[in-house]
Chains A and B, each alone.
Chain A
């Protein structure tokens, strides 16, 4: 096993129109689509929203395969919900396996649920695939800022995300090294029952925590030495700016979604 092979985030750099949109536009529009997905009921409406999402993916020139890959972790859940609807919902029987009966309404409901879940994930992965983690963090901070009046720590959340993104590769590398060092001392992480394997993690977790705390300590000192004192009075190198492209995208997609919800 090689931990360093774990990909961090799933950003696919590019120069397409979708890539160039302000992260706030993309986050807002994905929210609009998600809300629409929860309101609509008809198959036509799902088809229309699906067309919008797939159209966006095409425009972004990110291979559709990458977007579909995001569905993989939820495949089991989807198969399960589909099965439950198919066999448990009341309706006219279409076929039977032994004692359990598949119904037409179940089939329809199952398909709709699967479509809703898939489109939901595709819509959000389109954002993360076309937005760099930094831009995403900036966008989130900017969108949450109005909420800081009601106590939402927008800047702190964004800073936490940034530091997490920065240190995940470092800590993964470190985990790999500690694991190898303990294996060199005869540690075994691959055999035995769950209890034994859990215990075998102690020689990895303790050094990892010790090191993470040391890093946190040193990072805090380094940040203070560079005059960090929270979000107050901070400026940013990169400024988010909503351009005509963003306005057009917002207007078009919102109009499309409203029409789909209202008409279909």
Chain B
């Protein structure tokens, strides 16, 4: 049984509509996000991903089509957009660029205060949000957010959205511009939010390797439309299409496809290094009777 939390139906959106610079960004998009899942949206720059997620919480209003959150059309009269924005927490790309308060705690408290929580509730929400993203409240709450390291700033910014206790967390390229260490930390954080704290998560990503490891479902966008949808395993079967869209597949998936093209069809559907290992190792050991001595050379 499914519990749809965000439902986008036949949405069209054009930037600068009615001017010579008009650019259609979404052309009849249908997407639904189910409660409790971890979905990744992939697509090259300009494919409409960022425009789509700004429809999820009513930052953009569709030219036509509907967006429903929790079963209610968010553009119907009487719907308070602020409630929608609380339910659907949206973390922008480079979210640390939105920090503005004098202290970390005050910055994270911005959203809860806007939502009219009492001071005790605000304080509680801030502490909880910091705990969830592994920031030490006592050590950091009174520091200026501008003094922190890049990775810490980003986590403060994510905490600033989590403090609203959203039902869905939407992150636009949360690892953009980070070094590999920082990327792993943020990805681990997101996995934890999903697994331990039960968040529904929508992730926009450019890394096929990352989404293969993390996402339960992929939504592929190209030219303002959803062109593929399914588990990473299903989606990555369409290597040629994905390459044509400027996306590609994880290296190991490509490896298996190349091997198959050379007449060595080991296994389809390999998307991680571990799977490739399990597939290839027995085959390679089998043929290597004589080659044993070369190991480690």
A contacts B: CB pair < 8 Å: yes
Q: Is the CB of A178 within 8 A of B97?
A: yes
Q: Is the CB of A187 within 8 A of B95?
A: no
Q: Is the CB of A183 within 8 A of B59?
A: yes
Q: Is the CB of B16 within 8 A of A188?
A: no
Nearest CB in chain A to that of B83: its residue: A186
Q: A188 to chain B: which residues have CB within 8 Å?
A: 82, 114
Chain A, range 121-179, C-beta contacts under 8 Å to B = 174, 177-178
Q: Mark A7-47, 1 if CB is under 8 A from B, else 0.
A: 00000000000000000000000000000000000000000
Shortest Cβ distance from B117 into chain A, in angstroms? 10
Distance in angstroms between the alpha carbons of A202 and B21 in the assembled complex: 31
Name which of A70-78, A85-93, A206-214 contacts chain B.
A206-214
Distance in angstroms between the alpha carbons of A111 and B164 in the assembled complex: 60
Shortest Cβ distance from B27 into chain A, in angstroms? 19
Q: Is the CB of B95 within 8 A of A202?
A: no
Shortest Cβ distance from A193 into chain B, in angstroms? 17
Q: Which of A182, A186, A187, A207 has the most CB of B within 10 A?
A: A186
Q: Is the CB of A182 within 8 A of B98?
A: yes
Q: Is A185 in contact with chain B by the CB < 8 A criterion? A: yes
Q: Is the CB of A177 within 8 A of B161?
A: no
Q: Is the CB of A184 within 8 A of B97?
A: no
Distance in angstroms between the alpha carbons of A180 and B91 in the assembled complex: 10
* Interface residue SS majority, chain A: helix
Q: Is A259 in contact with chain B by the CB < 8 A criterion? A: no
| Given A178-B98, A210-B146, A211-B97: A186 touches B164 (CB 8 Å cut-off) | yes
Q: Mark B78-98, 1 if CB is under 8 A from A, else 0.
A: 000010011001111001011
Nearest CB in chain A to that of B89: its residue: A184
Q: Is the CB of B19 within 8 A of A184?
A: no
Q: B16 to chain A: which residues have CB within 8 Å?
A: 2, 4-5
Q: Is the CB of B146 within 8 A of A186?
A: no
Shortest Cβ distance from A146 into chain B, in angstroms? 39
Q: Is A222 in contact with chain B by the CB < 8 A criterion? A: no
Chain B: number of interface residues, binned into ranges = 20 to 34
Shortest Cβ distance from B38 into chain A, in angstroms? 20
Q: Is the CB of B92 within 8 A of A180?
A: yes
Q: A5 to chain B: which residues have CB within 8 Å?
A: 16, 19, 21
Q: Is A245 in contact with chain B by the CB < 8 A criterion? A: no
Q: Is B111 in contact with chain A by the CB < 8 A criterion? A: yes
Q: Is A231 in contact with chain B by the CB < 8 A criterion? A: no
Distance in angstroms between the alpha carbons of A182 and B19 in the assembled complex: 27
Nearest CB in chain B to that of A204: its residue: B100
Shortest Cβ distance from B44 into chain A, in angstroms? 19
- Among candidates B85, B92, B111, B164, residue contacting A177 with C-beta atoms closer than 8 Å: B92
Q: Is the CB of A186 within 8 A of B100?
A: no
Q: Is the CB of A184 within 8 A of B90?
A: yes
Shortest Cβ distance from B198 into chain A, in angstroms? 21
Shortest Cβ distance from B276 into chain A, in angstroms? 39
Q: Is B219 in contact with chain A by the CB < 8 A criterion? A: no
Shortest Cβ distance from A94 into chain B, in angstroms? 44
Q: Is the CB of B99 within 8 A of A186?
A: no
Q: Is A216 in contact with chain B by the CB < 8 A criterion? A: no
Nearest CB in chain A to that of B98: its residue: A181
Distance in angstroms between the alpha carbons of A52 and B86 in the assembled complex: 60
Q: Is the CB of A181 within 8 A of B95?
A: yes
**Interchain Cβ contacts under 8 Å between A and B, 16 examples:** A2-B16, A5-B21, A180-B92, A181-B90, A181-B98, A182-B98, A183-B59, A185-B98, A186-B82, A187-B114, A203-B98, A203-B100, A203-B110, A207-B97, A207-B98, A207-B99
Chain B residues at the A interface, C-beta cutoff of 8 Å: 15-16, 19, 21, 54, 57, 59, 82, 85-86, 89-92, 95, 97-100, 110-111, 114-115, 146, 160-161, 164
Chain A residues at the B interface, C-beta cutoff of 8 Å: 2, 4-5, 174, 177-178, 180-188, 202-203, 206-207, 210-211
4 further interface pairs, Cβ-Cβ under 8 Å (given A177-B97, A180-B59, A184-B85): A187-B110, A207-B97, A210-B97, A211-B97
